[in-house]
Amino acid sequence: MNNKNNYVLEMKKISKRFPGTLAVDCIDFNVKAGEVHALMGENGAGKSTLMKILAGLYNDYSGEIYIAGNKVELYSPYIAKTEGVGMVYQELSIAYNRSVQENIFAGDIPGNGKFVDMKKLRSKTLNALSRVKLDKKIEPSTLMKNVSQHESQLIEMAKVLKDKPRILVMDEPTSSLSSTEVNMLFDIIEELKKDGMAIVYISHHLHEVFKVSDRVTVLRDGKKISTCDISEVTKEQLVEMMVGQKVTDFYKQHAYQDKGKILEVSNLTRYGFIHEVSFQLSKGEILGVVGLAGAGRTELGRCLAGADKVDYGEIILEGEKIKLGSMNKMLSKGIAYLTEDRKLEGLALRLPNKVNILSSIISRLSRFGIYFPSKGKGVLTELYQKLSIYPPDPNVGTSNLSGGNQQKILLAKWLSTKPKVLILDEPTRGVDVGAKKLIHETIVNLAKEGVSVIVLSSDLPELVSLSDRVLAIKQGRIIAELQEEIDENKILLAANG
Amino acid sequence: MENVITNMKEDVRKTRHNIVTVYLTKFGVLAMIAFLALIGMLVSPNFMSANNLLNVLNAVSYLGIVATGISFVIYAGQYGDLSAPMTMAISGVICVEFMRYGLIYGVIAAVATGAMIGLINGFLIGKLRTNAIIWTLAMNFILEGLVRWSYKGTQIYPDMANAKTYTTGFFLPLMMKLDPNILEIDLKTRAAAFNGLASTYIFGLPLVLFVMIIVMITGFIIMSKSTFGNQLKIVGSSYNVAKMSGVNCTKIVILAFMMSSICASIAGVFLTSLNQVGAFYIGQGYDFIAVTAIILGGMSLSGGRGSMLGVFGGVFTIGLISNILTLIGVGTFTQKMITGAIFVVVVAVNASSLRKLGRDYA
């Protein structure tokens, strides 16, 4: 094979079909040595599938893959690994009760086959950690559960790097990192580049892509839209390529008039998570809640919704004092909570969309113990139209939908309960731009109709554009309230206390 | 809203449904029945006779009742109810104890016993989230000990009525104490009524077959039409999602286990009547065969998937296999090995076909 372009990886005319969809449609993709190639696209564009093919997770793709000029057939993860493909997934795979060194060298522990050579394991681990600049910070025998989140992510990277891959794929590596940690990661990437590694960088964050990558490829609906040097494109052009149409403006800010108090929370406490949280909420108000990871944002939402036990505190809804109880009870009072973990707690992916949407109002659609799903048909059609869910057939299994459409289904599920207070935990996490815009508009419209919305989010632009008021929470306590002229800087400062 | 969504784009990817896999998962059990019928006809000319098929149905009626119950547990994603055999046995024993006041009292007491056992199972598994397999296995063991201990190792015959009978058992000593004249009861006719349960025929069909049909139709309605059944589907598909949807998961799991135990106790009464003796070994092996039948019928061990019609198909298939094997002269022990092997194969095929369809997650 000719190798004049110095491509470490060449993927030619790659296609992969799933039941129901052509996830990757005839894509050409290549990466040079010492280059960071960003892969972008909305959810469901085919990024992950393309990279999973590269990692050897599918043995039924079509097309040709060349690594360093040699044709390879990546039919198993093991083959992919030996051919030099290293994959850092978004979700970490860690045995938390084992040490750092055992996690890094799991499956490849040095020794004579009977006993472990601890000294060698330690030195090899330090060596591996040095590539992610952790060798001076972490002792190899530390248990993984005592290691912080961002360090775990780097350890996961060290685990992949120890096999000396030629191609490193990173899937959303910064999704749980703070900005300083992101910069550390970029330093590491810079060094890997100098070593001549070919890096594929998947991300939704435009500014990261501009900062770290050399070239960018945009996918949409399983097809390649374009590959270009990063210096040749602007942010607007990239977004346009991803979305498929020019996005002129983002959502509009909500302007609400006070229509009277609906919810009054006082001294809500769950020991160890939230402490004496008090606030008020007006009818039709959108209240943003900001906080760093672990600040108690999600816990506040869960406690209000009755998903977690509350130790003490009081909730007054429409002047009526509510005894805190189960989720079912809070739901019947009109408090609904949309979880941040769509896959685990939000939707049963294997069920059809209509079942998922109606799952929390089964008892409401029942008479004398018999369930009448036909009564939910009107709601279903209305929600499908309102949220323009694709495909428009409610009988389709939820797992066949893209991430953005799944999130719409999740929102529809809670809208079907006709809540008075809707708590949204990260309503647009991992959702493409189009769906995000639609979800935001839906939230604003809901508020106009008089539903009070609490948005728990780490997405600052989202909070700025949606919220009428923002509460900052830190270590389980409300430490600040922003009411006027909310901007990202103010929110960030408030959240950091 | 001024800025209406402008970028509503159509997903251009084509859709395709693999007819073969869809139909195989949907009608797999029907194909199996047809295949077995074909083999049956080749094996014996008597196979297709109404009499033989009726025998098959009669023989699997007990299994059908138990499987209907256990299918609720599997539907809930709890793998199975291994306490079914002893629930059958203890219900039979209790029925024999109480039928001396009248058959109907016996049946009520038996079903109440089943409901109690289901309640305990459901509470421990639904509320305390213990592992269903381990707990029901333990429950089975406890119940076996209970029966053998309280009867001091003896069995109970419906028509046995001497003074010694009233010294062992669960409620018999108490009955004696409350009413010393209990020995005077005309046990013969009542025992005959009880023993006749399994051999009662209506319109030329065995009563137990009618009971199975009623239980299955009721089960079908509960599973697919009731509030409980629809919430059960969510719980079985994903416990966490159900919990976060405001479904009272504990209650649902308790009800599922109660369904299982109540069905087991109904089958236990009939099986005890068939054997004309109450003993700890009544119902042995029914747990496993029932689970096999349910899986054969297309219900997924991972919960939330399958139907009562499939359960019936699975039960009928088990009956046909057993019938054919008997017709060609295969012994009971060999049949056991074959049933076990079928279970392994079916579970493997089920799991791999689901994985191919890409539905084996969440």
Partner-chain contact A348 B241, CB within 8 Å: yes
pLDDT of residue B7: 37
Residue B12 lies in a domain: no
Residue B81 lies in a domain: yes
Range A217-245 average pLDDT: 84
Q: Which residues of B touch A57 (CB under 8 A)?
A: none
Indicate whether A358 pLDDT > 70. yes
Residue A483 backbone phi and psi in degrees, to 5: -120, -40
Indicate whether B154 pLDDT > 90. no
pLDDT of residue B354: 64
End-to-end CA distance of chain B: 37
At A425, is the secondary structure helix, strand, or coil? strand
Residue B14 lies in a domain: no
Partner-chain contact B241 A330, CB within 8 Å: no
Check residues A385 and B186 and name the one with the higher pLDDT. Answer: A385
Tell me the pLDDT tens digit for each residue of B60-110: 999 999 999 999 999 999 989 999 999 999 999 999 999 988 999 999 999
The residue count for chain B? 362
Between CA B183 and CA A109 the distance in angstroms is 76
Which residue carries 């209790």 as its tokens?
Answer: B94
Q: Give chain B's mean pLDDT.
A: 87
* Domain enclosing residue B298, as ranges: 28-356
Indicate whether B3 pLDDT > 50. no
Between CA A311 and CA A376 the distance in angstroms is 36
B214: distance to nearest CA of chain A, Å?
A: 18
Tell me the pLDDT tens digit for each residue of A179-192: 778 888 999 999 99
Cα dihedral value A16, A18, A22, A26, nearest 10: 0
Beta bridge pairs of residue A471: A289, A481
- The closest of B145, B124, B110 to B81, measured between CA atoms, is B124
- The closest of B196, B172, B197, B195 to B185, measured between CA atoms, is B172
Q: Which residues of A touch B242 (CB under 8 A)?
A: 348, 359
Neighbours of B51 (CB within 10 A): 8
How many structural domains comprise chain B?
1
What is the band of B15 on the pLDDT scale with cuts at 50, 70, 90?
A: very low
Task: Kindly identify which residue of chain B lies nearest to residue A332, measuring between CA atoms.
Answer: B246
What is the band of B38 on the pLDDT scale with cuts at 50, 70, 90?
A: very high
Would strands A261-270 and A274-282 be described as parallel, antiparallel, or unpaired?
antiparallel
Classify burial at B149, counting beta carbons within 10 Å of its beta carbon; exposed 0-12, middle 13-18, buried 19 or more: exposed
Portion 246-305 of B in contact with A at CB < 8 A: 246-248, 304-305
Give the containing element (helix H, strand E) for A275: strand A274-282
What is the band of A402 on the pLDDT scale with cuts at 50, 70, 90?
A: confident
Tell me the pLDDT tens digit for each residue of A266-290: 999 999 889 999 999 999 999 999 8
Residue B70 lies in a domain: yes
Residue B13 lies in a domain: no
pLDDT of residue A116: 84
Between CA A23 and CA B11 the distance in angstroms is 11
Instruction: Classify residue A136 by its DSSP letter.
Output: T
Residue B1 lies in a domain: no
What is the residue type of B313?
A: G
Between CA A405 and CA A42 the distance in angstroms is 11
B245: distance to nearest CA of chain A, Å?
A: 5
> What is this structure's pTM?
0.78
Of A21, A25, A348, the CB nearest to B362: A348
What is the band of B9 on the pLDDT scale with cuts at 50, 70, 90?
A: very low
Quick check: B42 contacting A, CB < 8 Å?
Answer: no
The Cα-based distances of A43 to A48, A200, A238, B221 in angstroms read: 9, 17, 15, 40
- Continuous H helices in A217-286: 235-243
ipTM of the shown complex? 0.83
Query: What's the alpha-carbon Rg for chain A, to the nearest Å?
Result: 25
Quick check: B131 contacting A, CB < 8 Å?
Answer: no
Contacts of residue B46, Cβ cutoff 8 Å, sequence gap at least 6: B52, B327
Partner-chain contact B240 A345, CB within 8 Å: yes
Indicate whether B256 pLDDT > 90. yes
Q: Which residues of A touch B8 (CB under 8 A)?
A: 388, 434
- The closest of A272, A312, A265 to A289, measured between CA atoms, is A265
What is the band of A337 on the pLDDT scale with cuts at 50, 70, 90?
A: very high
CATH number (domain holding residue B104): 1.10.3470
What is the band of A131 on the pLDDT scale with cuts at 50, 70, 90?
A: confident
pLDDT of residue A302: 92
Residue B160 lies in a domain: yes
Quick check: B164 contacting A, CB < 8 Å?
Answer: no
Tell me the pLDDT tens digit for each residue of A151-178: 888 888 899 998 889 999 998 887 667 7
Partner-chain contact A245 B9, CB within 8 Å: yes
Indicate whether B362 pLDDT > 50. no
Quick check: B20 contacting A, CB < 8 Å?
Answer: no
Range A121-134 average pLDDT: 88
Residue B4 lies in a domain: no
Partner-chain contact A362 B5, CB within 8 Å: no
Q: Are A482 and A469 in contact (CB under 8 A)?
A: yes
Between CA B179 and CA B162 the distance in angstroms is 15
Check residues A251 and B247 and name the one with the higher pLDDT. Answer: B247
Neighbours of B66 (CB within 10 A): 34
* Ramachandran area for residue A6 (φ above 0: left; ψ -120 to 50: alpha; else beta): left
End-to-end CA distance of chain A: 59
Indicate whether A247 pLDDT > 50. no
Task: Kindly identify which residue of chain B lies nearest to residue A401, measuring between CA atoms.
Answer: B11
Which residue carries 């923002």 as its tokens?
Answer: A470
Quick check: B19 contacting A, CB < 8 Å?
Answer: no
Check residues A432 and B136 and name the one with the higher pLDDT. Answer: B136
- Percentage, residues of chain A above pLDDT 90: 37
